[in-house]
């Protein structure tokens, strides 16, 4: 018998081989893929295929990670789905005989040459975390046959002291070392350099942008003669008070509480003209009475750091991965194909979910369906010959959750790009205005989330709170745009003249809201009202007049 039942009902997998020879066993590899990993990865937070039907798993690469004492293995899995696409995942594995080390967090019971033990995710073990940290500090990228460990020039570490897993990650797993460094282990991996590694290294080693964590090292798998897979990225740990989403939502809650206390006449609150730039000093006293000037100072500071990020990303003239490019027909074709495909997908989702919607949600969904030809036309009206600005490598998935707050300053993190996009699409140079649209949509979310989650405690009708939300949002946009545009134009970053900026912003805002709609309908349908209202506002623009 190759398997036996334990008292707790779990299966014990038995092999007549030791740990170091286990991955050479065809039977182990077959059972690993078919019997062990399928149930295991479905329950992991980093597994991104939960909405799809898993077909089968294959191990497409495996390699030792070892020193004089311990041997671990890294495996790269190819997960095939019934919908005819694949994901690749990285999983470092270990064999331990003492269950107390991992508790119930093991992958499977194994019996190797009669020795009972557990197959576990190696990241749970301090001995593994210590080993990969020390290999990065060695920085001898050609020493190991399959894996290159690089040490960044800014890495001042003298050696290993401590490590712990950071518990909040989902798509990746992060390790805190010596309470000073963070190593992000990428779980879903790509046969190419990860954009987070590429941009982090460029921004800190070459562009000298200070408001992102310093690049300190990396782990790269030599997948084939011409291809690599980024497995890990080490950066400095920026002391922070949380992310900008938590920070602004907290301040918005206080703002709406103050509004509720003061009970101003809502007709005295007027939105700015659509996409109008305004100085902090131009924010009306009728708004500053309940939304403090510090709030707009924070918005302006975030705009400044965003502008400096784009200036840094737009200054390269040698490395072709980062040199700015003009708009082209190839880009327009790529953009339109992508957006029309995405838009049709969203329309299908809305039509299939109409029965779950009611009230304002249903009204907005029907408005979207009635205007689908207008939206499709807006996406197809992208004309590169009218655009004089340049495209850059950008953040690509820029929102308030990708920004850390430290003493009312902001540090930008996580340059992996849009989760839905292919790795090559994430590296396409895009207008920096797309990042601005992302942060604007995020502010829109923050305001509406505050209203939805707390409206019963505010002394206003929901529709009245929506009016206030639109007024506040228009002033956030105005202050942000004024600071951002001043900064990038002073640095001669070519983002175009105001009409071009407004066209690109309108286009990218619509693109972002349509993108969000798919996520919300799949993950949390109650929140679909936010992108639906965003699309309605973008199309109508009437709340700004």
Residue 270's closest CA among 467, 462, 463?
467
Q: pLDDT tier at 6 (50, 70, 90 boundaries)? A: low
Rounded to the nearest integer, the mean pLDDT of the chain is 93
Q: What is the pLDDT of residues 91-105, one digit of tens each?
A: 999 999 998 888 889
Q: What is the pLDDT of residues 300-345, one digit of tens each?
A: 999 999 999 999 999 999 999 999 999 999 999 999 999 999 999 9
Give the pLDDT score at 308.
98
Give the pLDDT score at 543.
40
Compute the average pLDDT of residues 255-261.
95
CATH of domain 242-542: 3.90.1200.10
**Looking at the predicted structure, is the pLDDT value of residue 387 above 70?**
yes
CATH classification of 128-236, choosing from 3.40.50, 3.30.70, 3.30.200, 3.40.1280?
Answer: 3.30.200
**Looking at the predicted structure, is the pLDDT value of residue 531 above 80?**
yes
Give the pLDDT score at 524.
84
Q: What percentage of the chain reaches a pLDDT higher than 70?
A: 97
Q: Is the Cβ–Cβ distance between 327 and 494 less than 8 Å?
A: no
Beta bridge partners of 89: 77, 188
Q: Where are the domains of the chain?
A: 5-124, 128-236, 242-542
Q: What is the pLDDT of residues 239-255, one digit of tens each?
A: 999 999 999 999 999 99
Q: Is the Cβ–Cβ distance between 219 and 149 less than 8 Å?
A: yes
Is residue 139 within a helix (H) or strand (E), and if so which, with residue range? none
Q: Extract long-range pairs of 146-150: CB within 8 Å, 24+ residues apart.
A: 146/63, 146/64, 146/221, 146/222, 147/63, 147/65, 147/74, 147/219, 147/220, 147/221, 147/222, 147/231, 148/219, 148/220, 148/221, 148/222, 148/228, 149/217, 149/218, 149/219, 150/217, 150/218, 150/219, 150/220
3-state helix/strand/coil string of 160-215: CCCEEEECCCCCEEEEEECCCEEEEEECEECCCCCHHHHHHHHHHHCCCCCCCCCE
* DSSP tag of 430: B
Q: pLDDT tier at 544 (50, 70, 90 boundaries)? A: very low
């Amino acid at each position: 018998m190759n398997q036996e039942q334990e008292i707790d009902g779990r299966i014990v997998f038995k092999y007549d081989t030791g740990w170091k020879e286990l991955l050479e066993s065809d039977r182990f590899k077959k059972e690993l893929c078919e019997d062990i990993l399928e149930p295991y990865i479905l329950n992991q937070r980093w597994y991104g295929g939960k909405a799809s039907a898993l077909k089968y798993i294959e191990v497409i690469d495996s390699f030792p990670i070892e020193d004089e004492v311990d041997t671990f293995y890294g495996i790269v899995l190819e997960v095939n789905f019934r919908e005819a696409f694949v994901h690749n995942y990285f999983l470092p594995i270990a064999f331990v005989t003492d269950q107390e080390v991992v508790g119930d967090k093991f992958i499977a019971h194994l019996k190797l040459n009669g020795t009972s033990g557990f197959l576990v995710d190696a990241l749970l073990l301090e001995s593994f975390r210590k080993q990969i940290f020390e290999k990065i500090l060695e920085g001898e990228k050609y020493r190991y046959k399959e894996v290159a460990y690089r040490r960044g020039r800014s890495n001042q570490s003298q050696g290993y002291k401590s490590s712990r897993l950071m518990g909040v990650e989902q798509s990746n797993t992060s390790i805190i070392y010596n309470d000073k460094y963070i190593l992000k282990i990428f779980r879903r991996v790509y046969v190419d350099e990860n954009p987070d590694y590429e941009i982090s290294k460029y921004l800190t080693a070459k562009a000298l942008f200070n408001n992102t964590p310093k690049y300190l090292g990396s782990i790269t798998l030599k997948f084939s003669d011409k291809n690599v897979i980024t497995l890990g990225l080490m950066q400095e740990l920026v002391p922070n008070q949380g992310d900008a989403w938590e920070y602004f939502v907290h301040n918005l809650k206080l703002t709406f509480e103050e509004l509720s206390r003061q009970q101003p006449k809502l007709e005295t609150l007027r939105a700015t003209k659509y996409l109008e730039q305004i100085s902090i000093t131009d924010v009306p006293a009728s708004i500053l009475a309940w939304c403090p000037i510090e709030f707009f100072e924070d918005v302006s500071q975030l705009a400044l750091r965003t502008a400096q990020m784009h200036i840094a990303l737009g200054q390269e003239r040698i490395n072709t991965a980062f040199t700015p490019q003009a708009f082209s027909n190839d880009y327009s074709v790529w953009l339109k194909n992508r957006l029309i495909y995405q838009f049709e997908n969203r329309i299908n989702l809305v039509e299939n979910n109409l029965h779950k919607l009611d009230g304002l949600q249903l009204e907005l969904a029907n408005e979207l369906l009635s205007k689908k030809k207008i939206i499709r036309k807006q996406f197809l009206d992208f004309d590169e010959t009218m655009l004089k600005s340049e495209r850059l490598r950008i953040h690509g998935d820029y929102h308030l959750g990708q920004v850390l707050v430290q003493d009312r300053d902001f540090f930008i993190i996580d340059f992996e790009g849009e989760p839905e996009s292919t790795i090559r699409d994430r590296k396409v140079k895009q207008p920096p205005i797309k990042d601005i649209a992302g942060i604007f949509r995020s502010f829109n979310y923050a305001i509406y989330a505050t209203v939805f989650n707390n409206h019963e405690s505010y002394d206003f009708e929901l529709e009245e709170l929506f009016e206030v939300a639109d007024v506040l949002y228009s002033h956030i946009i105005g202050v942000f745009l004024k600071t951002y545009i001043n900064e990038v134009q002073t640095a001669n970053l070519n983002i175009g003249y105001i009409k071009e900026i407004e066209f690109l912003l309108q286009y990218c805002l619509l693109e972002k809201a349509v993108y969000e709609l798919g996520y919300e309908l799949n993950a949390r349908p109650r929140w679909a009202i936010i992108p639906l209202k965003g699309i309605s506002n973008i199309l109508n623009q009437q709340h700004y007049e």
